[in-house]
Amino acid sequence: MKSFFHYLKLALVAIPLLAFQQDKPLRIVFFGDSITQAAVKPGGYIVKMGEMLEKQGLKDKYELIGAGIGGNKVYDLYLRLEDDVLAKQPNIVVIYVGVNDVWHKASSGTGTDPDKFVRFYEALLKKFKAANIRVAMCTPAVIGERTDFSNQQDGDLNRYSQLIRDLAKKQGLPLIDLRKSFLDYNLKNNATNDEKNILTTDRVHLNDAGNQLVADEMWKVLKGM
């Protein structure tokens, strides 16, 4: 029978190891399109989140990494996930995609059909699960900020957002519902039914208020992961 001192020795060895693991920053990769590409610039949502963490005394607890490329759709994310995400060995990945899958249908005829969107998204999730990486899923926010659903892509945005909601529920993954957050914000703050300049600069890309809203909504979910 092993002595009490044997187990005490094991415990004393484990305590420093546990402390080391807790002190290591949690690495979060934000994976997306041009909205995320701009998020690492001054005023971007990743920068704003870093500033929020610093004010809360949490700056050393998290490492925030942007992995956004302009024009990307869900299958572009899948094609570059090895080099741009898995190689960075993150603890958490935030997937923020869908705007171009919808927008490019009208602008260039190169959007992503709903069934293919889901299959590529599922393939991404499978890769992250295999690597033991936690995932938070975002719905695409807006392509136009009119509050009466007269923006050209409102119907598709609602549909693709629901696909992501359903997939998050099916997979048991955290959801950051930016589509809902943006619609709710505009209903309260866009009394003149403008198509931009409330949360975006050009109907899609974020202004200062939009970046802050995204940072706030993401942090609400990420702080619990």
pLDDT in tens, 80-118: 999 999 999 999 999 999 999 999 887 777 899 999 999
pLDDT at 65 over 60: yes
In one letter, which amino acid is 21?
Answer: Q
Longest dimension (CA), the chain: 78
CATH top-level class for 25-222?
alpha beta
Which of 47-61, 98-112, 152-166 is the least confident region? 98-112
Whole-number pLDDT of residue 108: 73
In a 10 Å sphere around its CB, with 0-12 CB exposed, 13-18 middle and 19+ buried, how is residue 105 labelled?
A: middle
Query: 118 Cβ partners below 8 Å, 6+ apart?
Result: 163, 167
Alpha carbon dihedral 6, 8, 9, 15, in 10-degree steps, equals 150
The model carries a pTM of 0.89
Averaged over 111-136, what is the pLDDT?
97
Cβ–Cβ under 8 Å, residues 72 and 100 = yes
134, containing H or E segment: strand 134-138
Give the separation between CA 120 and CA 77, rounded to whole angstroms: 9
What's the confidence (pLDDT) of residue 12? 42
How far from 184 is each of 20, 146, 160, CA to CA, in Å? Answer: 42, 12, 18
Report the distance separating Cα 215 and Cα 219, nearest Å: 6
pLDDT at 24 over 80: yes
Residue of 171, 26, 18 lying closest to 90 (CA atoms): 26
Average pLDDT, the chain: 92
CA distance 223 to 31: 18
Q: 58: how many CB neighbours lie within 10 A of its CB?
A: 15
Answer whether residue 16 shows pLDDT above 90.
Answer: no
Residue 181 has pLDDT above 70, yes or no: yes
Which sequence spans correspond to the domains of the chain? 25-222
Please, are residues 66 and 32 in contact by the beta-carbon 8 Å criterion?
A: no
CA 88 to the chain's CA centroid:
16
List, for residues 140-158, the tens digit of each pLDDT value: 999 999 999 999 999 999 9
